Amino acid sequence: MRRGVRKRHSKRREFQDRRCLLLSMSRETMPKSAVSGSLAIGCFGLFWSALTLVADGAVLYGIGGQLWAYGYSTAPGTVTQSSVLKVKGKGTSYRPDIHYVYSVNGQTYEGTQYRYSTMATPDNRAANIVQQHPVASAVTVYYNPRNPSDAVLLRGIEGMDLMALMFLTPFNAVMLGIWGMAFSAFRHSRVVGAFPGVRVRTEGTLTRARIVPISALVIAGATLGGAAFVATIIVVFLLKGLTQNLIGALVVWTVLLAITTVVYARRKRAEASGAFDLTIDLLRGEVTLPVTYSRTEHRTLSFDEITGVVVNSIVEGKNSNEKFVVAIRSNDGDDPREEQVAEWNKEIYANAFAEWLRQEMKTRERITERQFA
């Protein structure tokens, strides 16, 4: 038994060396177009990330200030100016312009902040705020005890703050997606012999290749970004009242997070169930295919049925994007067929994985119990 296992491990190391050589050669032959394309994506990613992070910082600063104000001291104040400012852009929006005076330790201060994150809106929200704070009216001022000139009239978060986060969620999803692709490309460029999206595990005479091209975390992030985009459109154009309603905004966020959690849990459950596993049983001489590529259940092929492993080039889309699909050829009676098992947009990965499968399966070669005894 041990002699057979050592022999198998020796063959695995021998093939891994050949696989490393194959993948390292690919780096030397990388076309200039791929390099320029990577640079273009990198520049776009930096530009997109800069804009997104600036917007994130502005929104989070306002929310943080509003929550921090719960620890502020209070002082009586008087409104000295109260009006609605018209903000022009693609459309006309309005925000409140309120000035007030208050005293701290005998020194008088003038405040101009209604809250830290007062956003202009196209509705009558600004007019309502101004109406509630007429000139000469008494107000409670919340000021920073360490810097009394820093003050607001309203503390805590509103529905608008959560809506701003919802609006930025799709942008953050795209940004994280770009960073994720960059990190994945860097990781696979540093780890020679790796197959992106494939995790291999050996259990005695069984070898499982879990083929997960898109992780559950990526799918969950894309779901949250897409759902937030749709929810933002619905709230802005159909349910405008929710932009000011904290409870309503919390309900919307709860629904979004619940949907994302369900999608993530279902994907992880599918992975744990082995739905994405390609299993090679050397003792029985069988290959079990994953439940992917329109297969609704696992399909098992004997080594006698398998005639080869091929890599097919498929061009699709308006941009003529090329992908390389690894398929297992088999003879089902008089009906030859190909079962697709994995794909990459780089031929080198597809070829290396196909060669790995050939070496693992030893096509049309059986391994009996006596060889492992």
CA–CA gap between residue 141 and residue 152 (Å, rounded): 6
pLDDT class for 224, splitting at 50, 70, 90? very high
Model confidence at 192: pLDDT above 60: no
Q: How confident is the model at residue 42 (pLDDT cuts 50, 70, 90)?
A: confident
CATH code of domain 277-372: 2.30.29
Share of the chain above pLDDT 70, in %: 79
pLDDT surpasses 50 at 32? no
Cβ atoms of residues 97 and 81 within 8 Å: yes
Residues 6+ apart with CB under 8 A from 35: none
| CB-side neighbour CA atoms (13 Å) of 334 | 0
pLDDT of res. 27: 44
Residues 66-85 have a mean pLDDT of: 95
What pLDDT is recorded for position 246? 85
- pLDDT value of residue 190: 54
Angle at 187 between CA 273 and CA 358, to 5 degrees: 55
Tell me what the pLDDT averaged over the chain comes to.
82
Over residues 87-139, the pLDDT tens digits come to 876 667 888 999 999 999 999 999 999 999 877 776 678 888 999 999 999 99
Q: Domain map of the chain by residue range?
A: 31-53+161-272, 73-154, 277-372
The predicted-structure confidence for 133-169, as pLDDT tens digits, reads as follows 999 999 999 999 999 999 999 999 988 899 899 999 9
Lay out the sheet containing 107-111: strands in order across.
Answer: 107-111, 92-104, 73-88, 138-144, 147-152
Mean pLDDT of 309-318: 84
Return the pLDDT at 19: 46
pLDDT in tens, 342-352: 998 888 888 88
- pLDDT over 80 (residue 37): no
- Which range among 39-43, 164-168, 270-274 shows the weakest confidence by mean pLDDT? 39-43
Neighbours of 193 (CB within 10 A): 17
Measured from the Cβ of residue 313, the count of other Cβ atoms closer than 10 Å reads: 10
Confidence of residue 315 (pLDDT cuts 50, 70, 90): confident
